[in-house]
Structure 1
């Protein structure tokens, strides 16, 4: 696998670890049980935005990157987006807590783990031992937008940039 570009098919055999939000696990101190999120299968049948961040609860990710997607849920839905998947190298427990700390209450935005950077390494978008900061929009299996930040900050991978390309 290599860098994904517009027009490419989203690759097969891509999965992430995540903890589904359930009534039993909605408290931030509830752990839940990690499960497999089969991105390749799910992305074949949906319009999805995959957002990668270097780390949950880190300053730029928390203050500048994630808020744009949360604040633009209705605009994303208006463009036909059915789900936003936020990934980082953190484990599923940390990602779940990050989602809860940001008051996500359904599965429109899910927080998942790119364990051992399997996906990010495969496309060459890592930042040392962390996922790089990037966004990929997939429409029923086809990549319609893919951009990785080359500088510090949030420019090409933020909600505004993604919305402009949908």
Structure 2
């Protein structure tokens, strides 16, 4: 008898629950959404849009920084290539002038002296060009590091906010 009473009570509870679920399922369009839930959803959507806009802005800024860095490296590479060509032309010109100067020497001793002067000038000119190229490369690299650091700090700052 106790078992039968429990079974009847459980069936009654289940029937009521089924009816409630069927009532919700039968008329979902007429079920009113509370205004607080709508406001919460709207605020969440606006917050997500704002977060996405901030992330997009940070990404665009990082991309611009990377573009600036790449452009600087490409410009420096082109500048170094131009300098190398100019150095090669200068070396060829110096060599041809030295040949004329050495051949115009009145004696062997003077020719050797002129050859020695040419070698010294040639070495000094190439050393100066190499030092200048290294200084430019160092400056570009340092600027690149500063740009990367600034972009990383800006990105980290935007992520912390």
Instruction: Give the TM-score band, short-chain normalised.
Output: under 0.3
Q: Which one has the bigger helix percentage? A: 2
Q: Which is strand-richer, 1 or 2?
A: 1
Q: TM-score, normalised by structure 2?
A: 0.18
